[in-house]
Amino acid sequence: MVTRIAPTPSGFLHAGNRFNFQTTADLAREYAIPLALRIDDVDAARFRSEYVDDIFNTLHELRIDWEIGPRDTADFEAHWSQRKKSAYYRAELALLRGSTLETYACRCSRSIISAVPSGGCPGQCRTAQHELVAHESALRVHVPTDTTISVNGVELNLDSELGDFVIWRRDDLPAYQLVSVVEDRDLGTTHIVRGEDLLASTAAQIFIASSLGADNLVTAHYVHHPLLTDASGAKLSKSRQNGNPSHT
Ligand SMILES: [Zn+2]
């Protein structure tokens, strides 16, 4: 059994991230299981090494220790960076495409997709049989209507929550859902702590888990904690030095 802290170095951490770290460390102590640190840096465009420094500084400030994972920024760059594993993730994508799940290339532009609130492909890409071409199309996993996923005994309708979700991005990078499942499979993760905004992501990951040999995610224990908000009630988001908030 193992649990993990899995921050993304796409901005400076905020109180909500620190709350997530502390909650995960408390869970590790409660179950007497090892704690791993995994830094999800696959999104190279938003990566900055000072964000990685900030992760280590924050963990030291909180006096959180971890048994598995990089010890510092240099160790992370030398041995743990996901930015250097794209060939590995591409092989995992081939595994998923060879499974019983249906995937298809989606050529819809960002503006077309953002106009549809429900997510998924608003066009007819599923039946169009497009080729997957870097910087022209993304690959989606088809979620059949009324697909329900059980997360800790709570039934979620994945079709209405997320729709056909992206597994390989238009910018030719693996999507978060693929990376997270592969990394949690390789680590053997059994306990996962996330903000409640990631409940649909958890359901998506359970949906593809068995196709990637990650049955540990089907049976894992999930904790989805409430998100911290600022004084006005808005969700906290990471800050960048240029002042633009990023998604967490
Ligand atoms: Zn499409």
Closest Cα partner for 64 from 34, 41, 93?
34
Ramachandran assignment for 41, one of left (phi > 0), alpha (psi -120 to 50 degrees), beta (any other): alpha
- In tens, the pLDDT along 96-138 reads 999 999 999 999 988 888 887 777 898 899 999 999 999 999 9
**Which residues make Cβ contacts (< 8 Å) with residue 53, sequence separation at least 6?**
73
**Residue 41 clears pLDDT 80, i.e. is over it:** yes
Residue 223 near residue 23, CB atoms below 8 Å: yes
Q: How far is the CA of 118 from the centre of ligand 1 (A)?
A: 13
Residue 234 near residue 14, CB atoms below 8 Å: no
For each of the domains in the chain, give its residue range(s) and CATH number, in order of start: 3-225 (3.40.50.620)
Percent of the chain clearing pLDDT 70 (strictly above):
95
Q: How far is the CA of 194 from the centre of ligand 1 (A)?
A: 29
User: What average pLDDT score do residues 160-189 get?
Assistant: 96
Residue 46 near residue 53, CB atoms below 8 Å: no
- In tens, the pLDDT along 7-30 reads 999 999 999 999 999 999 999 999
The per-residue DSSP string of 192-239 comes to EEEEGGGHHHHHHHHHHHGGGT-GGGTS-EEEEEPPPB-TTSPBP-BB
**Residue 216 clears pLDDT 90, i.e. is over it:** yes
Confidence (pLDDT) at 240: 61
Confidence (pLDDT) at 120: 86
**Mean pLDDT rounded to a whole number for the chain:** 92
**Residue 234 clears pLDDT 80, i.e. is over it:** no
Q: What are phi and psi of 171, to 5 degrees?
A: -85, 15
Q: How far is the CA of 108 from the centre of ligand 1 (A)?
A: 4
Structural tokens at position 63: 């006096």
User: What average pLDDT score do residues 132-146 get?
Assistant: 96
User: What average pLDDT score do residues 197-213 get?
Assistant: 96
Q: What are phi and psi of 99, to 5 degrees?
A: -90, -175
Q: How far is the CA of 123 from the centre of ligand 1 (A)?
A: 5
User: Considering the entire predicted model, what is its pTM?
Assistant: 0.92
Cβ-count burial of 23 within 10 angstroms (0-12 exposed, 13-18 middle, 19+ buried)? Answer: middle
- In tens, the pLDDT along 89-98 reads 999 999 999 9
Q: How far is the CA of 106 from the centre of ligand 1 (A)?
A: 4
Q: What are phi and psi of 246, to 5 degrees?
A: -120, 165
Confidence (pLDDT) at 243: 39
Confidence (pLDDT) at 166: 96
**pLDDT-derived band of residue 36, with 50, 70 and 90 as boundaries?**
very high
Q: How far is the CA of 132 from the centre of ligand 1 (A)?
A: 12
